[in-house]
Amino acid sequence: MIKEYFIDLTEKKPGCTENPVVRLSQLLSRVEEGNAVLKVVSDEREIPLKVLEKLAEKRGLKIILLERDDTKITVVYSKDT
Partner 1 sequence: MSYLNVGEIRKDFPILERDVKSRKIIYFDNAASSLKPIQVVEAIREFYMYEYSNIYRGVYTLSQKATERYEDAREKVRKFINAESFEEVIFTYGATDSINMVAYSYGLSNLREGDEILLTVMEHHSNILPWINIASMTGAKVKFADITSDGDLDYRELESEITEKTKIVAVTGMSNVLGTIVDVKSIARKVHEMGGVILVDGAQSVPHMPTNVKDLEIDFLAFSGHKMLGPTGIGVLWVRKDLLKELKPFRYGGGAVREVDTERVEYLEPPHKFEAGTPNIVGAIGLGVAIEYLEKVGLENVRKHEEELTKYTLKRFEEVEDMIEVYGPLDTSKRGGIISFNLKNLDSNLVGTLLDSYGIAVRTGKHCAHILHKKINQEGTVRVSYYLYNTFEEIDKFISALHEIVDIT
Nearest to 41 by CA among 64, 81, 72, 80: 72
- As measured in angstroms, the least distance from the Cβ of 67 to partner 1 is 21
- Contacts to partner 1 by CB under 8 A: 16, 19, 21-22, 24-25, 28, 46-48, 50-51, 53-55, 58-59
Pairing outcome for strands 36-43 and 72-79: antiparallel
Nearer to partner 1, 3 or 13 (CB): 13
Q: How many CB atoms lie within 10 A of CB 12?
A: 8
Whole-angstrom distance between the N-terminal and C-terminal Cα of the chain? 16
- As measured in angstroms, the least distance from the Cβ of 25 to partner 1 is 4
- As measured in angstroms, the least distance from the Cβ of 15 to partner 1 is 9
